[in-house]
Amino acid sequence: MNSIKLFFNSLSKYGIKDTCNKLLNHLIKYWLDSSTRFIFFFYFNPFKKTSIKTKEYKNINQILLKNQLIETGQEVLDYNIDKDEFVNFYNSNLNIFEDVKYQYYSSPSKQKKIIEYFLSFKFSNLKTDSIILDVASHRSVFPNICSEKKIKVYKQDLYYKEDLNSRILGGNAANISMPDSTFTNIFLHDSIQHFDNNDDSNFIAEACRLLKPNGKLFLAPIYLYPNDVIFIDPKFSKVQTNFKNDYELIYLKNYNNKFGRNFNPSSFYHRFIKPFRNFDVKIYHIKNSIDFDSLGLINFFGIWTKK
């Protein structure tokens, strides 16, 4: 009703031509708003009706991938999630995980995300004097968990406008505006596969610069695949990516991401481990992950400890 009233007031004040021009400008401005554009493309995107052949994410022999990584000379340690420890962690953060405002409250990915956070605490020995950085932190509740435990947390994401007073860092994760040897721990949950071009390996180097001696970079999950691939949702099939042509492109229905790269074990080793001799790297294979994550997506994680 107010919009109709404003329209007729404008009509009487400016005339039909100027009023229509103003209305058109308003609609264009509204269209250019990123959130509106995202909603439009997500629900009405014509790419959804593309003839591109899609595939399902196939079940991979994780033992085979583990053995291929070992063949590079990298040790891979077996690990079983302890049910009692996991339940205790969940219950101690129940107010966060059961909050309906939590992004993954009703998502099939909820359990996988909680496993990531559980492992982060299990293997990082966080204390009240720890200074941590949560990378690609947009919508993550990991900082909330840390803050409740009186741990000093910085958050980084491309979405963020930098505000050092609030410990919020923006920009590229491969070029973070903080001094050398600032953090005791850096965490990256389920995001490195979405880093553009060489930002993924450059981030490892940046983490080494930012960590204190004996500081730890925690990375989970590590997605391994029999060959180097880029997964793309057909909704984003016309989006340009800055990669060479040495990846197989696989279109996954409902992947809901612009792209995601998975590497074969040898490529992963030569990209993320071998070049970084200032790190002591431990890779873990979760033997019983399927008992906790019905999607079966979190099978490997890693810890890079600065020497």
Query: Exposure pattern of 124-133 as b/e (b: 16+ CB <10 Å)?
Result: bebeeebebb
Give the model's confidence band at 60: pLDDT under 50 very low, under 70 low, under 90 confident, else very high: confident
Query: Could you report the per-residue pLDDT of 223-267, keeping only the tens digit for each?
Result: 999 999 998 888 776 655 666 667 888 888 778 888 899 999 999
Helix (H/G/I), strand (E/B), else coil: 123:
helix
Give how many domains the chain has, as a whole number.
2
86 occurs within a structural domain: yes
User: Which has the higher per-residue pLDDT, 79 or 3?
Assistant: 79
Same domain, 119 and 165: yes
Looking at the fold, whether 240 and 126 belong to one and the same domain comes out as yes
pLDDT attached to residue 40? 45
Tell me whether residue 273 is in a domain: yes
255 versus 112: the higher-pLDDT residue is 112
Residues 45, 90, single domain; the answer is no
Helix (H) or strand (E) holding 262: strand 260-262
The answer to whether the CB of 264 falls within 8 A of the CB of 225 is yes
Instruction: Report d(CA 208, CA 262) in Å as an integer.
Output: 22
Range of the domain at 211: 62-306
Q: Do 115 and 143 fall into the same domain?
A: yes
Query: Per the domain annotation, does 54 fall within a domain?
Result: no
Look at residue 56 and tell me if it is in a domain.
Answer: no
For residues 69 and 129, state if they share a domain. Answer: yes
Q: What is the CATH number of the domain that holds 107?
A: 3.40.50.150
For 37, the 3-state DSSP assignment is helix
| Residue 150 domain flag | yes
Q: Are residues 40 and 147 in the same domain?
A: no
Does residue 55 belong to any structural domain of this protein?
no
Tracing tokens 């949560």 back to the chain, one arrives at 134
Q: Residue 67 is inside which H or E element, if any?
A: helix 62-70
pLDDT band at 48 (very low <50, low <70, confident <90, very high): very low
CA distance 206 to 304: 12
Tell me: do 285 and 253 sit in the same domain.
Answer: yes
Round to whole Å and give the CA distance between 162 and 152: 17
User: Is a pLDDT exceeding 60 seen at residue 205?
Assistant: yes
Same domain for 85 and 10:
no
The edge-to-edge listing of strands for the beta sheet with 229-232 is 248-251, 229-232, 260-262
Residues 283 and 249 in one domain: yes
Considering the domain architecture, whether residues 248 and 288 belong to the same structural domain is answered as yes
Q: What is the pTM of this model?
A: 0.81
Residue 57 lies in a domain: no
Same domain, residue pair 40 and 122? no
Same domain, yes or no, for 135 and 202?
Answer: yes
